Amino acid sequence: TVIGVLASGRGSNLQAIVDAIQAGRLAAKIGVVISDNPEANVLKRLAGSDIPAICIDRRQFASRQQFEAAVAEELNIRHVGLVVLAGFMRILSQYFIDRFAGKIMNIHPSLLPAFPGENAQHKALYYGAKIAGCTVHFVDEGMDTGPIILQEAVPVLENDSAETLSERILHAEHILYPRALALYCEGRLTIEGRRVRIIDKE
């Protein structure tokens, strides 16, 4: 499977995916990494690597649909079969989602459906949750609402700050995302309504 990664920032999940491919844990190829933010660290990370990394700046487009059309075209040119959101800070419209129906994944730093949207780790602390975690899900037109593929729980510790909790969750993310991608690439995921079924390995 050719993967196209959309990312806006740090790029640590992208790095985990690159590492998993290199280690032979994920049989996929990254066809392109697209950032909507020219300053994104994720682009710096890839400088000097053989992975094509480009910026498509939202501010250069008159409308969201024109921006998304440019992103979709780039993904199609690279023959991308799975779109992977890794810290991509924009909501995709129905127009884009329809073009890649059932082929867009996201990772979110909470146990969804708790705490969708920004600052999920802060919200977990604010509500006094004792268990936090991360979720990989298929993307629909909502904010962090699509069918759940995999989740991993981590404890919230007595002395946690948003930073220490985020770090513990991020560590779990780096293991979980490549695993979810591997399931997809092995053809082991089916979507039935809101539920994702994982087909056993023979």
Burial of residue 29 (CB within 10 Å: 0-12, 13-18, 19+) is: middle
Q: Which residues are annotated as a binding site for (6R)-10-formyltetrahydrofolate?
A: 64, 89-92, 106
Is residue 79 among the annotated active site residues?
no
Residue 106 · residue 83 · CB < 8 Å: no
Query: Within 13 A of 144's CA, how many CA atoms are on the CB side?
Result: 21
How far apart are CB 201 and ligand GRF at their closest, in Å?
27
Considering only the stretches 2-10, 27-35, 54-62, 192-200, report the one whose residues sit in contact with ligand GRF under the rule CB under 6 A.
2-10
Considering only the stretches 7-15, 59-67, 125-133, 149-157, report the one whose residues sit in contact with ligand GRF under the rule CB under 6 A.
7-15
Query: Within 13 A of 165's CA, how many CA atoms are on the CB side?
Result: 26
Torsion angle in degrees (nearest 10) through CA of 101, 113, 41, 37: 60
From 4, 11, 31, 133, residue interacting with ligand GRF (rule: CB under 6 A): 11
**Is residue 173 a contact point for ligand GRF (CB under 6 A)?**
yes
Would you tell me which residues interact with ligand GRF (CB under 6 A)?
7, 9-13, 86-87, 107-109, 170, 173
Instruction: Point out the residues that are catalytic.
Output: 108
